[in-house]
Amino acid sequence: MLRGRYTPVDLFALVPALALRFEPELAELDRLLDDDQLFQQVKADLSRRRPRTSETGRPSTPVEAILRLLVIQHLYQWSYAETEHFVGDSLVLRQFCRLGLERVPHSTTLLRWANLLQPQTLHRLLDRVTELAWSLKVTHGRKLRIDSTVVPTAIHYPTDSSLLADGVRVLSRLVRRAGDLLGRGTEPVFRDRTRSAKRLTRRIDATTAPHASKQSQAERPALYQRLLGITQASLRQAEQVQAWLADLPAAAVGRVRAALEYFQPLVRQACSQAERRVLRGQSVPAAEKLVSLFEPQTVVIRRGKAYVPAEFGRKLALDEVDGGLVTAYTVLAGNPPDAEHLANSLAQHQARFGQPPEVLAADRNFFTLDNERRAQAAGVRTIALPRQGPLSPARRRFEHRPAFRRAYRFRAGVEGRISLLKRRFGLARCRYHGHAGLERWVGLGLLAHNLRQISRTVAARRAA
């Protein structure tokens, strides 16, 4: 049965000699999380775990505690296990998470509850936190700066050989599990080809080393041909075992059968990709490339950076307003031009604050004549979108105006904001799986950031 809250217990009153209390920022954060709209939106998602979660079953960890534990986790960049450990050991964090003397939920329990949060809910939570910031006068929504970044996924550096080796390893493991379920495993169809694939992968990697001889480099196509043969043999094994599993009840072999159905098309795509690139010498467009069997939504993103020629993850567009709050984010499909997102950012800002920003700033990647005219038509007073390429004398004078230069200096702050989000709030690498997992990881990180920003500003104002 889904519980909302534990019976209130004041741990600070139980141990008065310790003189325990919240730090000013944590006290403000505690007040922010008392908001009933935040609580109800999270409760609505968690109640969908089972058909009658809200009515029957054992009493759950309360919704209030789950929300606060997730905020604490992303605020301090802890894992689920670290969150369980550190909250359990701290009276202050126990009081903050409203756990009282109850047990801290196990890390896997917290993980299962967190997986129920929907991407749309996190967008609504961020909107509600923005409303709270506006009511507390932390932001007025008068300035808007936009930028994009890449959130890398948790994958190793992709090569065709490593993808093929991963495919052999995964299929061999699933075939072995199927053999255990079928009560057999000595036939050739259950042969594990992982070691052969690993040896060939190491030899292929050696051919690309700077000191590799010409003879070694010449062997590369033949080595790839052998690795492709091993991968295709593993695929044939998986197909035969899958046919045998089809005759058994789904309850017994459902997970193995589902995993085989999921991975086989991806391994076939890896084979096709390696054959086209290595053996035929064809180029594969970035939009068609598979870079991971485990995070197939990962995209190859090139942004013209000399120190990072290619990034592997998902492109993220961020809208930041005065007060240092990220009011909206969008996980983009592929690697679209930045300029396409500006209209969406303006529309979201107007819907959120009821008026356009007085200042709009972004880097030159967001400039188009249509975007500039759109912002003017919306009523933006100062538009700082530097034009690309050679400038006419009139355009140069326009971009050297004091108002334009002040607005563009304001734009530079979004670079620091992105750096902070990557260093302190997890955007340097997504630890969740799949597209929904990435949305959840980014959403929770931004939610923790905004809550900290509001609590820090309000605490400083009270102390002044």
Residue spans per domain, the chain? 11-117, 120-155+298-463, 160-288
What distance in Å separates the CA atoms of residue 225 and residue 210, rounded to the nearest whole number?
22
Highest mean pLDDT range out of 10-14, 101-105, 249-253?
101-105
- CATH H superfamily, domain 120-155+298-463: Ribonuclease H-like superfamily/Ribonuclease H (3.30.420.10)
pLDDT in tens, 194-210: 999 999 999 999 988 88
DSSP string, 357-425: -SEEE--GGG--HHHHHHHHHHT-SEEE-PPPSS--HHHHHHHTSHHHHHHHHHHTHHHHHHHHHHHHS
What distance in Å separates the CA atoms of residue 16 and residue 89, rounded to the nearest whole number?
18
Tell me the pLDDT band of 84, cut-offs 50, 70 and 90.
very high
Provide the β-strand partners of residue 318.
147, 329
**CA nearest neighbour of 151 among 379, 351, 339, 330:** 330
Tell the residue number behind the tokens 């009139």, with chain if given.
Answer: 394
- Residue 358 to residues 245, 319, 329, Cα–Cα distance (Å): 63, 15, 20
DSSP E strand boundaries for 57-206: 143-152
Range 103-117 average pLDDT: 94
Does residue 316 contact residue 429 with C-beta atoms inside 8 Å?
no
> The whole model's pTM is what?
0.91
What distance in Å separates the CA atoms of residue 458 and residue 449, rounded to the nearest whole number?
14
Exposure of 454 by Cβ count < 10 A (0-12 exposed, 13-18 middle, 19+ buried)? buried
pLDDT in tens, 202-258: 999 998 888 878 888 888 889 999 999 999 999 999 999 988 888 777 766 788 889
pLDDT in the model for residue 18: 66
Judged against a pLDDT cut of 90, whether residue 405 lies above it is answered with yes
46-55, 293-302, 387-396: range with lowest mean pLDDT: 46-55
What distance in Å separates the CA atoms of residue 383 and residue 294, rounded to the nearest whole number?
42
pLDDT in tens, 343-352: 999 999 999 9
Q: Which two tokens stand for residue 282?
A: 């064809």
What distance in Å separates the CA atoms of residue 121 and residue 127, rounded to the nearest whole number?
10
